[in-house]
Structure 1
Amino acid sequence: MKNTKTPDLPLSIRAIIVAFRVFFHLGWTKISKKLGTDPTTVQKFFQCMQRLANGSEDFWYLLSHIEPSGCHHPAPLIAPGSEESLEVRKAVLKHKTWMRNNAVNYERSKANLPPLKCTTVQNICLDFKHAAANPKYPKRIKRKRQPCKTALDEEDRSNWLQYTQDLEEAEAESDILTNELANKLKDQIQKLKDTVSQQQKNAESPGTLEWELLQQKNMEICAYNDAHFTPA
């Protein structure tokens, strides 16, 4: 049975994949069926070409980035104690408030050197061999990045003071309103209790409206009981 997984595609197949995708907008499955390749391989190859071409979909520009060996280029190993290893560690120590890979790649960009991966920078910083081979700093460089706080200028300081003052005044007003609402609620509850207590007293005094209402309600209850619960 033919193995359709071809990680190393021939140069002619690569060109056909680009043509099918750019001119005919075919999907990965259709392209793979026409060429006898794996859809995932086709997709990864074309996306790799686009990355090399900075996202372009121009046919001739994409063809200029086709390489027979593929687009997977392993990064060269950086030996402990080498000039590159020492420069990486020097950049990290120089920009202590930066992320390590940002510090390294910033210094490398000034020297027209390609950027390094985060894992490579991390390995050089934390590996004991790289640390031991660094005479100026023979220690592992651990993450101790602190936020860089800039001092407020006069205008910002004035705005900050005004903001804090407004905030304190707003909190004081909020406390006053809260106390006023609490006192009003307390008064309302007390008035309600007094009203209920007075109505209870009136219901026990003949001649009052509450007493008459209570008598009427008792009569209605007795009439209902007589009508529905007649003794056998």
Structure 2
Amino acid sequence: MHATMHLKQRDGALDLLKWLALFSMVLDHLRYVGYSVDWLYVPGRLAFPWFCLAMAANLARASAVNTQGQWRYLGWLLLFSAVSEVPYRMYIPNPDTLNVLPTLALGLLVARGWQMRALEARLLAVVALLLAAVFWSRLMFGFFGVLLPLALLLVIRRPLYLALVPGLVCLAANQWQVLYYSVRLGNQLAMAAVATCLIAPWLGLFLLRHARDVKPPPMRRWAYALYPVHFLILLVLRQAHAHIF
């Protein structure tokens, strides 16, 4: 009972990580409003690994309790994957992938399959990996994006220097071939983006371990709605910008 009560306590550092991930995502998507702000691509590289780290932290905290909450977690991801697809396609110009939530849902199944010994969880993880391998070009952040929550789960309670491993996975998920080519051409934004991908897991883990005393507003289930809603808000801003200019 005591362990369960402790697990249910709010983790201020985890809430802060979620808010910062959301903020980074909004910054990244501001690039499509109409202003010349390509540099926002760099802080935008923090969003996905930090959302994955929040998932890994939730899985690590829930490992001692029943799995019902994790099924709800998956259900919310799948629901808002569907809800978010239309506003995502309305806002992002010519998207060639689905929105990010299907990637996170598959990543959850993979990480949970590693964590749980139940045959059902292992089979779902295998199915998720197969789907990621077959449809990698349709998934935002691709196959390596599906692996990132597991990579973070494996190092979440280990020495910080091991965060370089999920950093490499994060870089691979972020079209590293394109970034690497741009780096070779001397593109400074690409250099900064590569560095951000590599250090994002380390920064997130450092935050989780050293910001426990902060008390940001708790991010609860209503936060799932922020994903589709922020696309609609930014769409209105883009239309207003186009009307004015």
Question: TM-score scaled by structure 1?
Answer: 0.19
Greater radius of gyration (CA): 1
Report the structure, 1 or 2, having the larger helix content: 2
Larger RCO (CA within 8 A; separation ≥ 6):
2
